Structures are given as structure tokens and as C-alpha cells.
Structure 1
């Protein structure tokens, strides 16, 4: 599952500014911001979630040191300053085809289940992101079930609509 997440993020094109990571329309920043948002949805940032996110961003973009810190800071700053999810989801919807959008939802579920627990706010966040980027309910639920099966000791699986 982790390899799929890395593969997905590697496929995201850089924004119009090339390697610069501060642009709001850079899909890498949008993806990082949404990952931060779902990671923090339950009000607790678990070390395992944070480590997974750092590893994914580092491996996906071949970044380390200051470059990795810049992407992480840009994603976190964008998430903290956002008033809604649309700014990020609209960027991803423009840059990703249907299969890549489904893969992104799978990747988000992997971050959610990194700590082995699904919180209702994380579930709700994934539902909203999936709706906004055009991933249907069936694909979202299948992705959640797959992530839950692959998370050792996963608890809190909710029933979907």
C-alpha cells in the first residue's frame, strides 16, 4: 500500500512554477495540504501518521533536507490558512484523471489508517474530499475497506451511508 501512495504522488505534475513549492495551484502542495488536513481531522497528530507523510513526500519527490521541509511547510501552511477544501480539491481535479483521483483517495485512507484507527471526522473528511474531486461512493468505500484490511489492529470502521 505504501508503494502505491509513493507511486501516486510521484505522478503528480509540478505546478506552473516548476520546482517552487509555495504556489497555491501546485498539485504537490494541494496533495500535501489535504494529507495534513485528514491527518489532523481527529485533533491528534500521531507520530506514525506524521512519519508516514514525511516518508511519502520525501520518496515521492526525491526531496530531503530543506527541500522536503519546504514542501511540508507549504502543505501545512496551506492547510492552516484554508477556509475550505475546495482550493485544494479543485487543483487536484484539474490535474488528475479519474484513476489518479481514486488513487489519491486510497492514499488518504492509508494515512488515516496509519495509526490503526478510523475516527468519524477522518471518515467525514475523506467523504467530502472524494465528493469534491469526483470519486464516487463505491470507489471511496472500497478504498477504505482495503486500507482497513491492511492496517494491523484497525478499529473504528464505520458503516458508510
Structure 2
């Protein structure tokens, strides 16, 4: 009986949103979020670019893109290792998709009008992990600025 009474006053476990599937799409979205967070401030402009990238890349409407971004934010917070996220993509996407991903990542960096050293270092790490040459990476970075 005492246990029944205790159960009445026990604080319920908080609801925890389940992690999305760790696939190439969500890994790319998580990297977009990670890049936005690299300067310790996520601005509306960066969120807008992330949603636009997800919408265009995966044929999502604005609400679906926002929901996917939220899932990717959760995945990003649970996956502390950038290498791990990049590995999910490295062998499953084409060279063209890798390059489009890098352009999208640089677009997030430039969305707030300021490029920080942390963002620059993170992007160069991702470029290397995806196997993109430094020369091609410079071209992709320039494409994101235009």
C-alpha cells in the first residue's frame, strides 16, 4: 500500500523526443546546425538558410523543413563528434552531393554576415573528412559567397 501511495506522488518522467534516424540526410542537417552553432550564437538568418537548404534539397515544404531542422538539432546535440556525423555521409552520397553540402554549409556561415575562425576551422575539417581537395574547397566556398 505504501508503494501505491508513493507512486501517486512520484514525479513523472519527462517526455523525451526520440532521436531521428542517423542517416545521410539527418547527418547533413545536423552539420548545418553545428556550423550555425560554431560561433556560439544561432541567428534567425542562419535558421532561415538551414530551412531553405533542407526544403530545396529534400523537396520539403516550410513546415516540414522546420520539423526536419528540429530533428537535426536534436541529433546534433546527441552526436558530439563531427567526424561521426560526416562519416554517415561520406560513403553514401555522391561527389556532387558532397560539394552541394559544402556550399550549403558555407552559406550558413555567411548568412549572418560574419565569418568566425571557429566556423572556418570546422568547415575545413568537414571538407577534409568528405575527401574534398583544398583547391576544390576554395572554389565551393567562393560559390557560396556569390
Global fold match (TM > 0.5): yes
Q: What is the match of residue 22 of structure 1?
A: 20
The separation in 2 between residues aligned to 1:105 and 1:92, in whole angstroms, is: 12
Give how far 1:63 is off: 2.8
Give how far 1:125 is off: 0.6
Q: Does the Cα contact within 8 Å between 2:52 and 2:65 map onto a contact in 1?
A: no
Structure 1 unaligned runs (5+)? 1-20, 151-161
The separation in 1 between residues aligned to 2:88 and 2:99, in whole angstroms, is: 15
Moved over 6 A (4+): none
The separation in 1 between residues aligned to 2:62 and 2:115, in whole angstroms, is: 31
TM-score by length of 2: 0.78
Cα deviations by residue, 1:54-108 (Å, 9 ceiling, x for unpaired): 1222333233476434412221011111121122111111111223212211121
TM-score by length of 1: 0.71
- Residue 56, structure 1, aligned to residue 56, structure 2: no
Q: What is the match of residue 39 of structure 1?
A: 36
- Where 2:129 maps in the other structure, the secondary structure is helix
Q: What is the match of residue 126 of structure 2?
A: 129
CA RMSD of aligned residues (A): 1.9
Q: What is the match of residue 104 of structure 1?
A: 101
Larger Rg belongs to: 2
Structure 2 unaligned runs (5+)? 1-18
Cα deviations by residue, 1:20-70 (Å, 9 ceiling, x for unpaired): x8111x111001000000011011112111111112223332334764344
